[in-house]
Amino acid sequence: MAMAADVEAQLHLWPWSTEVPGQTKDLVEGESKYPFYGSPVVSLSKKAEFWHPRRHEKYYSFGPPFTSEVEHYQLYEIPHAVPAGKEQQKNAGCLCKRSQLGAKDLRLSPENGRERTIPGKDGKQHETLLARTVLSWSQLFDDLLDQALERHREPRLPWDEFEETLTKLKDQANQPRKALILNIAETLQTRLAIVVSSARKVLLRERRMMPAGRVSETDVACLEWYLRQPGITAAQKAAANRQTLMGVARRESWDTHENRILKDFLSLCRKESTRYLLAEVGNNPNFQKSERAEKITAFRYLCADLLRQPFFESVSRPEPGLRPNYVLQNDHRYREIWKLYLRLLRQEDEEDILWDWQARTWADVVRLLVGRALHTMAKKRSETGTGIFQEILKSSLHLFREQRLGARVQPGCEPGPFILYPDDPVKQAVMEVVHSSLAEKHPVAKSLGRLGAHLYLVIHPFGPSRTKVIAVWAVHTAGTWCCPSWEEIARSAREALDWHRPILGGRAANSPDLYGLIAASDLESMGSCAFSGDEHKLPLVQITADQSGWSDANVWLEAAIEEILGGIM
């Protein structure tokens, strides 16, 4: 099913499904329904472009462009099936396509996507397990970034320290997930009461009527008023106004910009603490007795108690869009409050974006886990002298300071290159790890855009053998209610490789041998991983969506990589 010249856009159920019969759907003007399996992609002619009329989001290209017959196409990732926000859900999947043939409105109607919230028994909307899990991924990246900045003063983290973080997460499996509000509670639990008790106040000048004997300061307006009063002497003028004169007085006020921020910060903290206890702790007796739950409970009571301070009654709400003043930027009492307040304000918008682009976040998670597995295999050789991997150049994990439509890992920070089988001259080869965003610049991976891989493990044998490529796919199967069996998913990827091999072989004289590895997210088996595949040995590693189980994923990913290498080298 090659793309016809007049077909400018197609939807593919899986990242590997480009042009594969039964896994591809032509996108025409109007509504297009399709089963949602978590990580669909869209291929679009290079002569056309996508945009969303209301979301105002750029759709990042996915991998290098590819050629179908005489037309050049580019893959694009698309948002989650159930968008965040009421306004977005009204326009779910609404895209516009502009090309030489004109503009067309396309409406994607995915089926069986998991929701973000569900109604509870109390009639309120409660976050689903998937929503809480996606937030935990975001928090992990935030923690890694904070750790990198604290230890190295830049968003760069050695792979060994990432290994330590995953081990620590495994040890904390009996605790509710980490969250921004937990970091705030740990940072400010003992200092917040001191900030409130020493809240900054100012003296305001105001004109008012006061007893004549207490007038100590006047200004031009007071003198003008004084001259207009009947009488000649001060006593006569005061007598005409019940023995009072207009003067300038000083009044204490707590209604300052920094105190408005402080009051709103306390309100947000109380709200987030309540949300955390309801969504993360819930009725789980083990979580209710955990240290994190106790910290959040104590912090919520502290915020509620501080908000009852009398002077907060005179403090108004902050106006939107105000910039920080000198006090918020330099006063040691308010500087940390302002920093955390901004993170709380950004959290809601970031949560919406992360929810919509959670498949991109999962792809970054898989890249980290695969990179960690390769690094561990190379580390094993450097420590024990055994193993099939030897790292040539040292690398470290680089993180974006802010997420980019769900992406948090900077392309190009993958470990490697590696020497494979350094003790076996017959099997020796060099393996490179290529990110999909950089594949267009790679001499081998640039021709493999139709594979839709998130990582390309490119193997260059030292002998006359052909180059080999292992396409690593990260599929977010935790995002769907109707996930095919693991065997069906592996079989689908294997059939796609069989479809792509002759196409690529016919267009390149030295096309590489193609192999595949799938890393699928699993929401049901929280805390565990598994390894499976089809009868043709295309490995599928079933990785729990719960980050406390990612430490154990290393074993399964290493086994999958070694199985593939054992069959091709």
For residue range 471-514, what is the model confidence (pLDDT) as tens digits? 999 999 999 999 899 989 999 999 999 999 988 876 666 789 99
Of residues 101 and 314, which shows the higher confidence score?
A: 314
Q: Are 260 and 317 in contact (CB under 8 A)?
A: yes
Amino acid, res. 341? Y
Angle made by CA atoms 65, 70, 75, in degrees to the nearest 5: 25
Q: Strand, helix or coil at 7? A: coil
**How confident is the model over 186-207, as a mean pLDDT?**
83
Is the confidence at residue 229, as pLDDT, over 90?
no
DSSP per position, 286-350: HHHTSHHHHHHHHHHHHHHHHHT-GGGGGPPPPPTTPPP-HHHHH-HHHHHHHHHHHHHHHHHHH
Q: Of 2-16, 314-328, 335-349, which range is least confident?
A: 2-16
Is the confidence at residue 88, as pLDDT, over 60?
no
pLDDT at res. 534:
56
- The structural domains of the chain, with segments of one domain joined by +, span 9-111, 180-198+256-356, 202-253, 358-568
pLDDT in tens, 417-437: 999 988 888 889 999 999 999
**How confident is the model over 161-177, as a mean pLDDT?**
83
Cα torsion 425, 370, 490, 111 to 10°: value is -160
pLDDT at res. 457:
96
Q: Are 24 and 1 in contact (CB under 8 A)?
A: yes
Structure tokens at 164: 């330590």
How many CB atoms within 10 Å of residue 69? Answer: 8
Handedness of CA 341, 343, 345, 351 (dihedral sign): negative
Is the confidence at residue 1, as pLDDT, over 50?
no
Is the confidence at residue 441, as pLDDT, over 90?
yes
pLDDT at res. 284:
76
Is the confidence at residue 102, as pLDDT, over 70?
no
What are the phi and psi torsion angles at 428 (to 5°)? -55, 140
Question: Given pLDDT bands bounded at 50, 70 and 90, which one contains residue 355?
Answer: very high
Of 2-6, 12-16, 124-128, highest mean pLDDT = 12-16
Cα–Cα nearest to 39, from 478, 476, 482: 476
C-alpha 567/C-alpha 556 separation (Å) is 17
pLDDT at res. 5:
43
pLDDT at res. 2:
40
Percent of the chain with pLDDT over 70: 90
**Cα dist. 8→45, 74, 249, 556 in Å?**
5, 10, 75, 40
C-alpha 530/C-alpha 521 separation (Å) is 11
